[in-house]
Amino acid sequence: MAKVVCVLYDDPIDGYPKSYARDGLPKIDRYPGGETLPSPKAIDFKPGTLLGSVSGELGLRKYLESNGHTFIVTSDKDGPNSTFEKELVDADVVISQPFWPAYLTAERIAKARKLKLALTAGVGSDHVDLQAASAHGITVAEVTYSNSISVSEHVVMMILGLVRNYIPSHEWVTKGGWNIADCAMRSYDIEGMHVGTVAAGRIGLAVLKRLKPFDMHLHYYDRYRLPEATEKELGLIWHPSVENMVRVCDVVTINAPLHPETENLFNDKLIANMKRGAYLVNTARGKICDRDAIVRALESGQLAGYAGDVWFPQPAPKNHPWRTMPHQGMTPHISGTSLSAQARYAAGTREILECFFEKRPIRDEYLIVDGGKLAGTGAHSYSAGDATRGSDTRAKLKHHA
Ligand code: NDP
């Protein structure tokens, strides 16, 4: 029988919800493009409930315990004395989430001698040292597509929020003001602007599709080009390099995974290549942007606004400069964990566990590392290497963060 260790974010500060704002979720039959939704044999949760926090347990306890497995759920993940690090030692399976990442560094992987499966309940497995996982024969899998559309909606919201100056205008209302000019002096329409996505995968393409009706000019940079029919239908302009694309864009949205090729991509040099007064939205991973270069660009006016929900490390320390820099519309890492997304990634996690325990193959599109190398989606979208470096700073900050 297996030991499954699951790291989830804390419950709401007022306790696990007893009721919800809405009574259910709309029914979605398929993902765009036809990929099927998660299809476990059964689920033991009500879609629309909070599954991603510790008391929600991804709806897995009944399934795992009735099959004789041990199931540990914790939010305590940082540092050598954390519950996660102690329980990891004899764990067969680790489940973690990008929102509250249980960083699986090479050191931790070396200690986890029984570990066979590192499962991401969501999308994006950069919190796992993929190189070390490959070397130790650990399978890394994630619930591809489960929250890609959720993120694309968040990106559109953030672009509109920044360009139209929504958050500062809202703040004038709550302060009791009626300061039209203060609100309007940084407010523009997105119509006619040039928007470009770094990567046109599931999220990037969904963002472009959603922005099309706003009559924006649509650009993308990706290592592989989209089918000609898609380019034509949306009127997309492909760029052979990110430098080339950012030069012509008023708005840039980052939708690539974090791996050695994308780490620190948006540094002083690339940002200097952007139009003065461009907006940057990053819901991909914090480390794709150089933290201090972003602050400098907002202070100098090179960037007119920055928004996103991804930071490094996570949770972000209280003194992280992105909390207080000017013209930002940051949120904690939430875009992929709406209640709608949770129902899908909890079901997908269950599907992957069923496959693992019943020795059936895990869907290719869910695989990041398998058989000692990048596999499935991982082979397509990631590059070999490790992007977890520096994650131990969370543990050092733990007591005053
Ligand atoms: P996909 O795998 O569908 O798309 C990723 C795309 O990135 C692929 O098209 C890939 O290109 C492209 N890509 C990879 N490396 C590069 C590079 N160096 N330059 C340009 N393009 C590159 O994933 P999703 O769209 O679903 O998700 C993308 C990322 O968004 C995730 O990896 C994750 O980090 C983040 N995410 C954030 C969430 C949140 O809550 N904020 C939730 C979900 C995801 P190709 O395959 O053509 O090589």
Ligand 1 environment, Cβ below 6 A: 122-124, 147-148, 151, 198-204, 221-224, 255-258, 261-262, 283-285, 309-310, 333, 335-336, 377, 380-381
Residues 60 and 132 in one domain: yes
Residues 168 and 317 in one domain: yes
In this prediction, residues 105-134 reach a mean pLDDT of: 97
Residues 161 and 127 in one domain: no
Express as a percent the part of the chain with pLDDT over 90: 93
The pLDDT mean for the chain works out to 96
Residues 318 and 350 in one domain: no
Say how far apart CA 82 and CA 86 lie, in whole Å: 6
Is residue 385 very low, low, confident or very high in pLDDT (cuts 50, 70, 90)? confident
Is residue 399 very low, low, confident or very high in pLDDT (cuts 50, 70, 90)? very low
Residues 285 and 157 in one domain: yes
**pLDDT tens for residues 141-199?**
999 999 999 999 999 999 999 999 999 999 999 999 999 999 999 999 999 999 999 99
Ligand 1 centre from 380 Cα, in Å? 10
Residues 235 and 315 in one domain: yes
Segments forming the whole domain that contains residue 35:
3-145+337-375+384-400
> Domain containing 307 — which CATH number?
3.40.50.720
Say how far apart CA 38 and CA 32 lie, in whole Å: 14
Residue 332 covered by a domain: no
Residues 140 and 245 in one domain: no
Say how far apart CA 235 and CA 224 lie, in whole Å: 17
**pLDDT tens for residues 97-111?**
999 999 999 999 999
Ligand 1 centre from 255 Cα, in Å? 5
Instruction: Determine which residue's CA is closest to atom 33 belonging to ligand 1.
Output: 124
For 109, residues 6+ apart whose C-beta sits below 8 A from its C-beta are: 115, 129, 132, 133, 136, 138
Catalytic residues: 147, 285, 314, 333
Residues 177 and 260 in one domain: yes
Residues 259 and 189 in one domain: yes
Say how far apart CA 249 and CA 239 lie, in whole Å: 11
Ligand 1 centre from 230 Cα, in Å? 18
Say how far apart CA 139 and CA 104 lie, in whole Å: 13
Residue 331 covered by a domain: no
Please state the atom number of ligand 1 nearest to the C-alpha of residue 203. Answer: 25
* DSSP SS3 for 262: coil
Residues 351 and 228 in one domain: no
Total number of domains constituting the chain = 2
Residue 330 covered by a domain: no
Ligand 1 centre from 71 Cα, in Å? 31
Residues 139 and 154 in one domain: no
Residue 328 covered by a domain: no
Residues 64 and 75 in one domain: yes
